[in-house]
Chain A
Amino acid sequence: MDYTKQIQDIAGRLFSENKIDVFIGYRNTGFDENQVPVLINQYKDVDQLLFTDKSVFNLANYLKYEHTRNKRVGLVVKGCDSRALNLMLTEKQVKRENLYVVGIACKGVVDETGEMAQNCIECVMPDAVIFDEMLGTPSGRREYQENADVRELDGKTLTERQEYFEEVFESCIRCNACRHSCPLCYCAKCCIDQETATLFQGANTTSSAFHALMTWSLHLAGRCVDCRNCEKACPSHLPLHLLHKQNEKVIYGNFQEHLAGMIEEDRGAFYKYSLSDPDDFIM
């Protein structure tokens, strides 16, 4: 999977036709094989752009910052990224008319070991669901599969899960990198930082991490698109996807096979209901 040439051409065209102010893409780190996001502001820089199976980050995240607000933006989105973008559009965080979306029919990106990443193996929608131009041949929607790690943990005893997560929450340093890297965490002021939430807890304890991560994952329940930007950003290497995938599993299994961001104007599973939703867990 290498769309470097096409993306450089598209970005070049958009700049020369004066259709965009900024193009968000990927470039080489400059010191290893890995890539980082880059915001290109002018025609002469487009040759920095590249796209391969190392283009791991979700670029929709950069639409929530000052640099792109109310500007005409071109950006590259894979299947998962495009679902996040879909939600950002539905939640009125960006204007569609300001965007030029280069969709990718994604074949999967790699993880740190160079193997195909888990979220790509389990991906339900590799093709961009929203785009102005599509690169590659769409392979279509795939069958939903439960996350392997969630399944493994589910098979363990309650005490084992409890011990496992105690370690997870204990390792969290409350740096909030997960939040900053998530395209759907765009709130002007996060609830976790507000007086009401912080009054009764300090900055960095296991309990406060439990509170912060649980609340965060519940705010993303029915919205998380499994791009794993948060996990890539986490300095403690926490398996944050476990919380999201667990919620996704429950939502998919109980609420009409709902998956986040697949269609326009879908705000997520918590913003609608069905009369036939499960009721047997309630006395």
Chain B
Amino acid sequence: METEVKEKIVSIEKPHLEAPADWQPVIMGILCNWCSYAGSDLTGTSRLQYPPNIRIIRVPCSSRVDPWFIIKSLQASADGVLISGCHPGDCHYISGNYYARRRFLVTKKLLNFVGFHENRVQFSWVSAAEGPKFAKVVSKVTEDIKKLGPLHLYKKENI
């Protein structure tokens, strides 16, 4: 891939600064294939409506989610991150979500410790049958992020 990497620090503004009037947040959603991605498909099949700010990435299992993806998302265009997997006990791969859950807690607390609002990164368990829950979760996360405003911390932009 021939990507010219030019970088600049976009801004060192504080997140509580007022957002432009037409600002819409970008939310990075990372969903496990077997439960949450299937659940989000069901949301679609059921024509349940939710805010259009989420951008969904499919991974096989929540245990595939390296905390590093969260950090990268926050550095890139995301104003918030939602990660969703199978309910405890339902993991398609037996134990993946249990390992992931530990990493998620520590990552969330660490990000909060260094200055990110706790609502910037959120987690959910959504099963393949929980289409309505997925719509609800996305609506809540979007609303939370809208309240917080654009994320300016440690941003990078590639051109």
Binding site for B on A (CB under 8 A): 150, 153-154, 158-159, 161-166, 169, 191, 197, 199-202, 205-208, 210-211, 214-215, 217-218, 221-222, 242-243, 246-247, 250-251, 254-255, 269-271, 273-275, 277-279, 281-283
Contact = CB atoms under 8 A, between A and B. Distances in A.
Contacts of A159: 14, 16, 115
B37 interface: no
Contacts of A165: 114-115
Contacts of B7: 200-202, 205, 207
Interface pairs A-B: 8 shortest CB-CB:
A162-B115, A273-B98, A283-B124, A210-B154, A165-B114, A282-B123, A207-B154, A250-B109
A151 to B, nearest CB: 12
A163 B152 CA distance: 12
A199 B12 contact: no
B129 interface: no
A283 B115 contact: no
A221 B14 contact: no
Interface in B129-159: 137, 140, 153-156, 158
B103 A211 contact: no
A255 B109 CA distance: 14
Interface residues of B, number: 46
B99 A273 contact: yes
Given A270-B102, A270-B106, 4 more contacts: A200-B75, A215-B68, A222-B106, A282-B123
A59 B98 CA distance: 35
Nearest to B156: A207
Contacts of A278: 101, 105
Contacts of A200: 5, 7, 72, 75-76, 156, 158
B88 A211 contact: no
Contacts of A197: 68
19 contacts: A154-B113, A161-B113, A162-B115, A165-B114, A165-B115, A169-B154, A199-B3, A200-B158, A210-B71, A215-B68, A218-B107, A246-B113, A254-B105, A269-B102, A270-B103, A277-B105, A278-B105, A281-B104, A281-B108
B109 A214 contact: no
B126 to A, nearest CB: 8
A219 to B, nearest CB: 9
Nearest to A215: B68
